[in-house]
Amino acid sequence: MNEAESDELKQSVEQFAWWNFEHHPDTDSYSYVGIEETIEYLDSIVRTQGPFDGIFGFSQGGICAAHLLARQQQGDARFRFSFGIFSAAALMSDARYAIPLDSPLPFPSLHIMGEQDALISVEKSRALASQFANPVLLVHPGGHYIPTQKEPRDAWKAFLALQSAAVRA
């Protein structure tokens, strides 16, 4: 595939984001645009297709998933998750949506991060994990993806088995 074909393929792939960003050149900062619509959309999914025991998110979806757990902890009754799994996820960077916590989030959590992730560094993933009372961390040698090798799969299975047992108890 030549460069022109590669560019054409990239442009033809539909991309999805939970929210967009607005750049503020005066402060060289970004704010989120559309997050409230995302939360309303997820609320409708939970109401019509739930309940769900846990929540999983990758990248921006992981940021959103953690935000929903924080909202739940602050009393948002629309969400009733028991645990969270976050892959290549970080804290919200828009201060308007930061939820101050009096204590770490009590939900069991699994945090998957890649040592070579150029988008969400291990440090940013660890910062998110630090918001949870007893986070389980899985660091893989790769980049910005969900690892599928045996060791990560075994870690997923073990975490989900614990959560399944807790939900059924």
CA 43, CA 49: separation in Å to the nearest integer?
10
Nearest C-alpha neighbor of 90 from the set 106, 56, 108, 113: 113
pLDDT confidence of residue 87: 96
Active site residue 164: no
pLDDT confidence of residue 4: 60
CA 36, CA 131: separation in Å to the nearest integer?
22
- Give the global pTM: 0.85
pLDDT confidence of residue 17: 82
Active site residue 26: no
Does 110 map to a domain? yes
Which one is catalytic: 109, 117, 125, 140? Answer: 117
Contacts 24+ apart (CB under 8 A), 162-169: 162/108, 163/53, 163/54, 163/82, 163/83, 163/108, 164/53, 166/82, 166/83, 166/108, 167/53, 167/82
Does 12 map to a domain? no
CATH, residue 86: 3.40.50.1820
Does 1 map to a domain? no
pLDDT confidence of residue 31: 84
Does 156 map to a domain? yes
Which one is catalytic: 59, 87, 109, 125? Answer: 59
Counting the structural domains of the chain, the total is 1
Active site residue 53: no
Q: Which domain holds residue 164?
A: 17-168
pLDDT means per 10 residues, the chain with 169 residues, are 59 71 84 88 93 94 94 91 96 82 91 95 96 95 93 92 88
pLDDT confidence of residue 51: 92
Does 26 map to a domain? yes
pLDDT confidence of residue 29: 80
